Structure 1
Amino acid sequence: MDIWTRRLQLLSAAAAAVFLLLLLHAPPPVSCADLDALIYKGCANQSFPGGALPPTVAALSSALSGQAGSTKFYKTSSPSTAGSSTSVFGLFQCRGDLSGSDCASCVSHATSSWRDVCGASVAARVQLAGCLALYEVSGFPQVSGVQMLFKTCGTGSGGAGDFEMRRDTAFAALEGGVATSTGGFVATSYQAVYAMAQCEGDLSTGDCGQCVTQAVQHVEVECGGAPSGQVYLDKCYISYSYYPHGVPHGGGTGGQQTSKTVAIVLGGAVGVGFLVICLLFARSLTKKKDDY
């Protein structure tokens, strides 16, 4: 083996090592399965007679799933039939940044889990990371649209002394962005804090703004200086996360854009590495020729 072949092998090994290093340090993409993660469930204490869901619930599930690919919010009723005297109402709300296919997949997963998480309850509410789907029997008691249903807060603290100021600035942007939002969805980032809000699609701009303001007040009290938090009210929810090393590209809410960026970076690294090898190889050949 001559010295030039040996040099080429060493350069190839170095390029491979650089590629592996970039891959190990690339941010992991968020899988679509994360959208189906259960956040919370709400089940009525009362059950349908006989301990079985009536056919109208299955019909409602099909109606909701059938619309999820074309809209982020939909509500409808499944009237009583000859086979069932029970009329049920239901709706779904997908997160505003989901694609049609991701929304459809999430709603299908949520509606199919009604029975698993709530049995034969006369009302069920399933909140996944990417969507909400619920049903309730006609005449089921209603609660205030700003009643808190669930909250979760991260452990520890945001670290930096001005963390809460950063978070509150992001919250203010959420509240201000509701007026111009599409479908009640607002997302923003400010100095390593990412925040998001989602209202039910049929809320007016004013009602959505009031709901988000209430949610912000709840999360400030409930989560304090925690690095992340989520508060779900009946008609809206907000979430925030602190990223010490900067908010991921795309806001950290979905993996599609992040994975594309990683692919571009890695592909570029491979291309540059290959170009460097070619240039060095050509240089070595020129040097070899000059030596003769």
Structure 2
Amino acid sequence: MGRRVSIIATILFACAIFLPTTDCVAPSLLHLVFQGCSATAFPPNGEFEQTLTALFNTLILHASQGHFYKTTAGSGAYSIYGVFQCRGDLGSGDCYYCVNRLPVEARRGCGRVTAARVQLQGCYLQYNAGDPNSLSGTTRLYSKCGTTPATGAAFLQLRQAAFSDVQVGVQGGRGFYAVGHGGVYTLGQCQGDLSVADCGDCLKTALQEVADHCGTVNSGQVYLTRCYATYAYYPVGGSGAYGSYGMVGGSPEHGQQTGKIIAIVVGGVAALLFVFVCLWFVKSLTKKHDDY
């Protein structure tokens, strides 16, 4: 009898350990926006690889404590500077899960390179072996425009009003701001260590570039080294879908919550099935011992 109880307790403990969590990140937040990889690979001596792994582990550890963190791993010729940042409207759980995904994407897409930038919808990672100042500035890293011309005579005025609100909003202290203006939804964010003035200047450049680059199409995004800006337009009465920004049905929040609800439901179903299998196994084991 004692041995049977011990076996059952061990199985239940194992089930609890491997039970899937239902605090699932919204799938759209893990969408890969872009990645850039250095053409220079690490030397095959293993030192850089160990330092990079240590850097990733440190960044993941701090992802549970805040939305932005930068650090340097290693020393001397083997030092690697790295930074992560989550979107300002993410909860702490979503931020942590998003940052956990970044090293996987970096290794998969870039391999053993000395510098890389991986931008997911909800967070980004950037690292560089050597001088951390090489990651500063307002160099354009990535841009993309929609393909559908915006309808409505007031579109340009509405977009400019939204852009102005974002530029003022990010200087309120958080470096992140999202706003909707007559169907134009705009989001801007600066790297977490920028001063208020530098954030304003960077985002001014990003907003001007996305306006110039995308013209009158219904969506656009521009990522600079230390800030980015995106917009999406839904004419009045249109439902629209712009899920890559978490903007679905005319509202940034609606898309994010829809994705999270789906993820939680799927995770819940998986968890229930796992519990059922564990209980069935325990019952079968008990019956087998009873037969003896």
Same fold per superposition (TM over 0.5) = yes
Residues 188-203 of structure 1 aligned to structure 2 (within 5 Å):
188-203=179-194
Residue 148 in 1 paired to residue 137 in 2?
Answer: no
Displacement of 1:141 in angstroms is: 6.9
Residues 212-227 of structure 1 aligned to structure 2 (within 5 Å):
212-227=203-218
- Residues 152 and 134 of structure 1: is their aligned pair in 2 closer, same or farther, counting only changes over 3 Å? same
Other structure's SS at 1:241 match:
strand
| Residue aligning to 1:79 | 74
Consecutive unaligned residues in structure 2, runs of 5 or more: 1-24, 240-246, 262-292
Q: Which has the larger radius of gyration?
A: 1
Match for residue 93 of structure 1 among 79, 85, 88: 85
Identity of aligned residues (%): 38
Other structure's SS at 1:89 match:
strand
| Paired amino acid for 2:256 | G
CA distance in 2, matches of 1:50, 1:35: 34
Alpha-carbon displacement from aligned partner over 1:153-212 (angstroms, at most 9, x marks no partner): 011211112111111110011111122142x10111100010000100010000000001
| Residue aligning to 2:150 | 158
| Residue aligning to 1:7 | none
| Paired amino acid for 1:177 | G
Q: TM-score w.r.t. structure 1 length?
A: 0.72
Other structure's SS at 2:89 match:
coil
CA distance in 2, matches of 1:191, 1:181: 25
Alpha-carbon displacement from aligned partner over 1:27-64 (angstroms, at most 9, x marks no partner): xxxx7111111111111111111296510100000000
Contact kept in structure 1, 2:170 and 2:189, CA below 8 Å: no
CA distance in 2, matches of 1:253, 1:212: 25
CA distance in 1, matches of 2:257, 2:39: 39
Alpha-carbon displacement from aligned partner over 1:226-249 (angstroms, at most 9, x marks no partner): 101000000000000112237847
Displacement of 1:111 in angstroms is: 1.8
Match for residue 52 of structure 2 among 45, 48, 57: 57
Consecutive unaligned residues in structure 1, runs of 5 or more: 1-30, 261-292
Match for residue 107 of structure 1 among 92, 99, 108: 99
Residue 230 in 1 paired to residue 221 in 2?
Answer: yes
Range moving further from structure 2, 67-76 or 241-250: 241-250
| Paired amino acid for 1:34 | S
| Residue aligning to 2:177 | 186
CA distance in 2, matches of 1:33, 1:217: 30
Contact kept in structure 2, 1:195 and 1:240, CA below 8 Å: yes
| Paired amino acid for 2:88 | G
CA distance in 1, matches of 2:83, 2:187: 21
| Residue aligning to 1:44 | 38
Contact kept in structure 1, 2:81 and 2:131, CA below 8 Å: no
Range moving further from structure 2, 109-118 or 120-129: 109-118
Alpha-carbon displacement from aligned partner over 1:133-161 (angstroms, at most 9, x marks no partner): 11110236716521111100011211112
Contact kept in structure 2, 1:40 and 1:126, CA below 8 Å: yes
| Number of residue pairs the alignment of both structures matches | 227
Other structure's SS at 1:113 match:
helix
Other structure's SS at 1:132 match:
strand
Q: TM-score w.r.t. structure 2 length?
A: 0.72
| Paired amino acid for 2:141 | L
Contact kept in structure 2, 1:223 and 1:229, CA below 8 Å: yes
| Residue aligning to 1:271 | none
CA distance in 1, matches of 2:44, 2:132: 19
Displacement of 1:79 in angstroms is: 1.5
Contact kept in structure 1, 2:62 and 2:69, CA below 8 Å: yes
Contact kept in structure 1, 2:222 and 2:230, CA below 8 Å: yes
